Structure 1
Amino acid sequence: MTPRPDPDALGFVLIDAARLLRAAFERRIAGAGLGITPGEARTLVHAAALDGSRQLDIAQRMGIEPMTLSTYLDRLQSLGFIERRPDPADRRARLIFTTPAADALIRDVRVEQVELMTQVTAGITPEDRELVRESLKRMRANLRAIEEDQQALPLAKEAGR
């Protein structure tokens, strides 16, 4: 007899929680009247956190395709919230910087994020929240290492031919 799958196994719970959290964040941003889409809000937050980073690095950090990011950045740039500058180290690349006009919007997105997370973590002690956060950061690092290994494997096989 094969073991029955457990829908409450850690991996499934993480996937479900991430999906539900993302949907809740998107609803919250869409309903907040900020004048930007949830994808643009995520992009702006990541651009601010990685101020001066290349578009490709921001896309990788967000886990989205560079072309999707480019669409979000185009809109944010047209609204005056980010600017693209040439990368002095690579003339093909652009560095992304938030503008002072974005500061209030970033604060508003942050308020929505904090309020949502207050609801999501209701009943969880600050110590347990920190333990979960640190554990998830470790899992993220492990997953990134696995992904890098998976990407390196075909290159290593090809180089060995």
Structure 2
Amino acid sequence: MQIDPGGERPPARVRPASQHLHRLVELSSEFERGLARELGINLTDLEAMEHLIQDGPLSPGDIARRLGISAASVTIAVDRLSAMGHVSRQPNPLDRRGVLISATPDSRQRTMSVLMPMIFAVDGVLDEFEPEQQATITRYLLRVTDRYQEKVDRLGD
């Protein structure tokens, strides 16, 4: 992979590790699209489901903030997910007028049955390396995620 940002200078040489990391990001997106197809939902709905599965019941406003979409869009997404049996609404015990959205147990199990084998397979690759090598890999990935976070934070400004 050669990167030429805007054609302003000759392409930079990107090292193999960075090329593989880029491919991993692409494959991660492909995996998410496949998971969404498996669940019969779109990518926005999948992102909402990921938040609900990871963090438990959320208000529609919380979902909207996390996804960066409007309250009306959340209502449409929750209606869609509810009709397909992926989520349920319950009264919010802290707000008489509010509701909380939860992933249904069946949908959570179905999602996790696809995710967990992938997570365990990826984690298991580390067993192929010595503890010192694992520490180096971990340090590299931590530094890469820090750089990504810095760029994401700047884009949000």
- Secondary structure class of the residue paired with 1:97: strand
The one-letter code of the counterpart of 1:19 is E
Q: Give the Å deviation of 1:41.
A: 4.0
Q: Which residue of 2 aligns with 1:19?
A: 26
Aligned counterpart, 1:83? 88
1:4: which partner in 2? 10
Q: TM-score, normalised by structure 2?
A: 0.56
Distance 1:141 1:81 in 2: 31
Gaps of 5+ in 2: 1-7
User: 5+ residue gaps in structure 1?
Assistant: 151-161
> Between the two proteins, what is the percent identity of the paired residues?
15
| 8 Å Cα contact 1:55/1:69 also seen in 2 | yes
Instruction: Give the CA RMSD over aligned residues.
Output: 4.2
Moved more, 15-24 or 101-110: 15-24
Q: Which amino acid aligns with 2:11?
A: P
1:48 is matched with 53
Deviation at 1:100, TM superposition (A): 2.5
Deviation at 1:22, TM superposition (A): 0.1
| Higher RCO (C-alpha under 8 Å, 6+ residues apart) | 1
Question: Are 1:106 and 2:114 matched, yes or no?
Answer: no
3-state secondary structure, aligned to 2:12: coil
2:35–2:114 CA contact under 8 A, matched in 1: no
Change beyond 3 A, Cα 1:116–1:80 = same
Q: CA deviation at 1:49?
A: 0.9
**Which TM-score applies when normalising by structure 1?**
0.55
Q: CA deviation at 1:138?
A: 2.5
Q: 1:16 to 1:53 in 2, by over 3 A?
A: same
Displacement of 1:70 in angstroms is 4.5
- Render the CA deviation track for 1:92-131: whole Å, top value 9, x for unaligned: x64322232333213213235427746999x886445533
What CA deviation, in whole Å up to 9, does each residue of 1:58-78 have, x standing for no partner?
35545x534655444323212
